[in-house]
Structure 1
């Protein structure tokens, strides 16, 4: 009997030790969860109308993350970010997430993967040149326009606005945006939501956002009227970063 109890005790000890080691793999020495690491794999060039595979490998510490809450690939043509397309990724259950996309004309396209997992968010991006790419003059004009619109623009800055699925008149709506710079969550930024509808009023409402998590900012607003509104997200920090992106939302 004593032998059986000893065997059970040893087994439980080994199990608890394994669980403890597993927990440590996902946390740093000070107990803070380790950052998500995402490797985005996309070919540099492709032919028009050819299928292009997208692949994102997600890890946290030494562990492959196969239980991400959401993985989407956002795709847009250079200079046309406001016309981007979202493609839901397939979870291969091995820490990798994939999708396929074909482009029907020449151009340079950006592919950005948005990964939300274990309370963290990251969004690396890469570009692919399709066919002959773009005409140099067109690319140069787009670059100048981008500098004019964004001011102190950082090529490594990324913004992901979590557009609400439904917005109802008279109800508080929570707006959330994830910010990243140089592949790291952007902390301690000053973020404001500018909201207006020219058909209703020439007044612009301003909502100050607060940092709810590392690199995540949120604020709420209630709309008095239904209609199509513009929302512009302004981002600044003490290092001179000054970015903004504009979106369209509908209030019902």
Structure 2
């Protein structure tokens, strides 16, 4: 009887172990749900020189993401090169916010750069301030033009190179999307030259988070530089040129 009980106990343990391994395998095989970010403003109607709360609502499936690594809002006025990058704070329930005052009438671009759960998401919205309007024609133009240089493309190339100083190693990041999905496994190079100079440097960028590529570079002197991002993957060969101010 005692031997029978021992045998039965060992069998139960073995079955439990098999079930645990099966459960673990099922979890590994199950694809991760995509992290999604919705950008809103409160209030929705924005007046110049009045404080507005800009929100990024981060979710994964039905779950509210409260543990994002970081959320940053990149904001600039349509037609202007000057951009600002502001770190958001978690307000609760997966809502990350900043307070922002838009100084004048116009259409503004807002990108919520979000790193959460090994994913990088960067939705862009356009908001009208004061008497400005976001027209359908502008939306159609921007869907091709924003981040693609002077040619139409399904690839979105976005260079982040803020606060760059001379004689200091700076990290520049490139975010890539294709058909609204993060573009992974690409070969990315930054072509760098000072405005008006003939000498060009080529610096590779390495992929970290999905669709995010980083490159470290030291600019030897202050001034205006051109940075052209070259992207290759299979038959894809795209590029985008940006101006970077080095202080």
Q: TM-score, structure 2 length as denominator?
A: 0.69
Aligned to 1:129: 128
Count how many residue pairs are aligned between Structure 1 and Structure 2: 220
Rg: which structure is higher? Answer: 2
Q: What are the residue-to-residue correspondences of 1:1-252 with 2, within 5 Å?
A: 29-30=28-29, 33-42=32-41, 45-80=45-80, 82-133=81-132, 149-154=149-154, 157=156, 159-161=158-160, 163=162, 168=167, 175-198=172-195, 202-221=198-217, 225-228=220-223, 230-236=225-231, 242-248=238-244, 250=246
Say which is worse superposed, 186-195 or 111-120, in terms of deviation: 186-195
Aligned to 1:3: none
Aligned CA distance change for structure 1 residues 51 and 181 (closer, same or farther; 3 Å): farther
Aligned CA distance change for structure 1 residues 236 and 177 (closer, same or farther; 3 Å): closer
SS of the residue 1:68 aligns to:
coil
SS of the residue 1:150 aligns to:
coil
Aligned CA distance change for structure 1 residues 186 and 44 (closer, same or farther; 3 Å): farther
Aligned to 1:7: none
Aligned CA distance change for structure 1 residues 208 and 38 (closer, same or farther; 3 Å): same
Aligned CA distance change for structure 1 residues 55 and 241 (closer, same or farther; 3 Å): farther
Unaligned stretches of 5+ residues in structure 2: 1-15
Say which is worse superposed, 52-61 or 103-112, in terms of deviation: 52-61
SS of the residue 2:36 aligns to:
strand
CA distance in 1, matches of 2:103, 2:171: 37
CA distance in 1, matches of 2:184, 2:113: 18
Aligned-residue Cα RMSD (Å) equals 4.0
Aligned CA distance change for structure 1 residues 65 and 216 (closer, same or farther; 3 Å): same
Q: TM-score, structure 1 length as denominator?
A: 0.67
- What's the CA shift for 1:77? 0.9
Spell out, residue by residue over 1:97-120, the C-alpha distance to the aligned partner (whole angstroms, 9 max, x if none).
112222222111111111122332
Spell out, residue by residue over 1:111-136, the C-alpha distance to the aligned partner (whole angstroms, 9 max, x if none).
11111223321111111111221799
Aligned CA distance change for structure 1 residues 160 and 45 (closer, same or farther; 3 Å): farther
Unaligned stretches of 5+ residues in structure 1: 1-12
Aligned CA distance change for structure 1 residues 72 and 210 (closer, same or farther; 3 Å): closer
- What's the CA shift for 1:247? 4.0
Aligned CA distance change for structure 1 residues 103 and 186 (closer, same or farther; 3 Å): same
